[in-house]
Amino acid sequence: AKSGARGSFRFFEPELDRQLQARRSLERDMRSALAHGEFELHYQPFIHVVSGETCGFEALLRWNHPERGRVSPADFIPLAEETGLIVPLGEWVLMTACAEAAKWPDDLKIAVNLSPVQFRSPELVPVVMRALANAGIASHRLELEVTETAIIHDSETVFAVLAQLHALGVRIALDDFGTGYSSLSFLQKFPFDKVKIDRSFVSELSGASDESRRIARAVVRFAVSLGKTTTAEGVETREQLDILRADACVEVQGFHFSPPVQGARVAQMIGERAPA
Ligand code: C2E
Ligand code: CA
Ligand code: CA
Ligand code: CA
In this structure, the residues whose C-beta lies within 6 A of any atom of ligand 1 are 44, 59-61, 72-74, 77, 90, 93, 113-115, 175-176, 199, 233-234, 236, 254-255, 260
pLDDT at 11 (0 to 100): 59
Q: Which of 172, 113, 174, 112 is nearest to 148 (CA)?
A: 174
pLDDT at 78 (0 to 100): 93
Question: How does residue 258 score in pLDDT terms, banded at 50, 70 and 90?
Answer: very high
For residue 10, the CA-to-ligand 4 centroid distance in Å is: 37
Q: What is the pTM of this model?
A: 0.93
ipTM confidence score: 0.98
pLDDT in tens, 6-64: 555 555 677 878 888 888 888 898 989 999 999 999 999 999 999 999 999 999 999 99
